[in-house]
Structure 1
Amino acid sequence: MFEKLDLTRMAQSLAAHAGTRLGVIARNVANADTPGFKAMDVKDFASVFDGSDPFPLQATRPGHLTDSTKDASVGLIHSGSGMAPNGNDVSLDMQMMKAVEARQSHEMALAVYRSTSGIIRVSLGRNG
């Protein structure tokens, strides 16, 4: 029922996008001291949401999904700042700011979803 509503589909996609972005940010932070590591980010939500599919699945390694032709790097972009002497370009300050943005997006998506489900419950005559 909820998946047919555009607003809930968009909220679900935003929550999935924020989760994916947090995973990429966590990988960046974990590799902050790895020589030669390049910081990555996902494309912004507006460029990946087309309204037809609630955030397409992405393979994280070969054979992860049944369609083995998907690439794990789809939607990833290089986001590093200045390069350190060891070739690493992860800025922990930037990663923490991005993590806060992703968390806010996720919380907004959950708030929209909760509000929508509350409105539907009330319209069906159910309380809370």
Structure 2
Amino acid sequence: MISQLPLFEIYGAMARYAAESQKVSATNIAHADEPGYKAKQLESFESYLARASNSAAHTGLNTSFKVVETNGPVSPSGNSVSIEMEMFKSAEAAGQHEQAMTVYSKSLELLRTALGKY
């Protein structure tokens, strides 16, 4: 029931997005020395929300995240991974995940308090 409330659904999706973004960054870093590898990233969270809300299948926020190639500079070997950028994205994703979990847990606390079950 709680997961069907819009606030919980959005912040649950934000936490999943941040976790998936961490995976994409880790994959990019793992391929940093591979010639010809093109760095990838997730579509923006805003794009994901818009696409999920307009989904013809009405899957809502269960829609999967799109992975796209980045447009960063390419090394002579054809690799476009920037370790610095991936570290930045990883830290940003960690912050997004922390924010999502904080809002989720505080909202749950408020709901429990309102219901007198705290």
Question: Are residue 102 (structure 1) and residue 109 (structure 2) matched?
Answer: no
Which letter does structure 1 place at the counterpart of 2:73?
G
Task: Give how far 1:76 is off.
Answer: 1.4
**Runs of 4+ deviating beyond 2 Å:** none
Q: How far apart are the structure 2 equivalents of 1:55 and 1:16?
A: 10
Which structure dedicates a bigger proportion of its chain to helix? 2
Match of 2:79 among 76, 83, 88: 88
* Structure 2 residue ranges without an equivalent (≥5): none
TM-score (norm 2): 0.86
Which letter does structure 1 place at the counterpart of 2:23?
G
Task: Give how far 1:115 is off.
Answer: 0.7
Which letter does structure 1 place at the counterpart of 2:96?
S
Q: How far apart are the structure 2 equivalents of 1:120 and 1:99?
A: 31
**Bigger mean CA deviation after superposition, 9-18 or 47-56:** 47-56
Query: What are the superposed Cα offsets for residues 22-67 of structure 1, whole Å, 9 maximum, x if unpaired?
Result: 111100000000111000000010100144622424xxxxxxxxxx
Task: Give how far 1:4 is off.
Answer: 2.0
Task: Give how far 1:80 is off.
Answer: 4.6
TM-score (norm 1): 0.80
